[in-house]
Copies of this chain bind each other. A is one copy, B any other.
């Protein structure tokens, strides 16, 4: 089952209370691909990079079953760059620098060979770009999942609202859910957002886990309690990769299976934050993932008899 991934492949420079990285590989689509490729192949990537993006990184992704035909390489330009500083509460961060570079005029082109993708992951990015990819698909995908952020709510709300009508699952964090719905209560926010188009809403709460909403149903998944969250960059994208990876692998888009996909996504995100950037994502194997998923089962499992 092919998975289509749209999003940035980029450079980040990150400061956390525990350390500081150089300019390292980042980008939503990079994290999504590293994560999802543990579950399903091929991943068909749509992105844009500059001449500065290392071939070794492309080769590494390709070796994991990531098809790069849809990644435009603009030799004379620079890749997107983001720099940020996390607070002691890793749910909060300040952007120090953003250089759009190749993203400034990115027009995604869907290769003909990507038309078979039934699962689509629209990584966080310009809503019109995300929508453009969807519109180039000749067949309606089985499932369209989309990530977005507050920045697009402030600068491209009209495009975002149009796009939401074509999306099955929306992934946002709690403050973004509040902003999008103008509701403080997450339960009320979910009700509003489910009226805007998506049939499923995933609210990511970082160290506090994630919530899945569908109709009047709700599921709660914890985050793995970690001694140290070393670098949360890419955790949401890694979550998204595990989420769509599990769904595409099992070809089951029921609410029950989405609950499992949330656990898989949470397990993948718990690896991502253990080291800077994509470092940890390159190290882990199936045994590590199984062992981590088993930890999640133990974490929430309890026996109960009623009063």
Q: Number of residues in A with C-beta < 8 Å to the partner?
A: 43
Counted per complex, copies of this chain come to 2
Residues of B within 8 A of A64 (CB): none
Chain A positions 215-250 with a Cβ under 8 Å from a chain B Cβ:
218-222, 225-229
Chain A positions 181-195 with a Cβ under 8 Å from a chain B Cβ:
184-188
A100 to chain B minimum Cβ distance, whole angstroms, is 33
- Look across to chain B and name the residue whose beta carbon is closest to the beta carbon of A290: B306
A74 to B228, CA, bound (A): 50
Quick check: is A211 within 8 A (CB to CB) of the other chain? yes
Quick check: is A94 within 8 A (CB to CB) of the other chain? no
Interface SS, A side: mixed
B185 with A260: CB separation less than 8 A: no
A290 to B305, CA, bound (A): 9
Quick check: is A29 within 8 A (CB to CB) of the other chain? no
A219 with B299: CB separation less than 8 A: yes
A-B contact pairs, 29 of them (CB 8 A): A38-B307, A88-B184, A185-B229, A186-B207, A187-B225, A187-B226, A187-B227, A205-B208, A208-B209, A209-B220, A211-B225, A218-B225, A219-B299, A219-B300, A219-B302, A220-B222, A220-B299, A221-B302, A256-B302, A259-B301, A259-B302, A259-B303, A260-B303, A263-B304, A286-B307, A290-B306, A293-B304, A293-B307, A294-B306
**Told that A221-B302, A259-B303, A293-B304 touch, could you supply 16 new A-B pairs with CB distance under 8 A?**
A185-B228, A187-B225, A188-B227, A188-B228, A219-B302, A220-B225, A220-B300, A221-B300, A256-B302, A256-B303, A259-B302, A263-B304, A290-B306, A290-B307, A293-B306, A300-B300
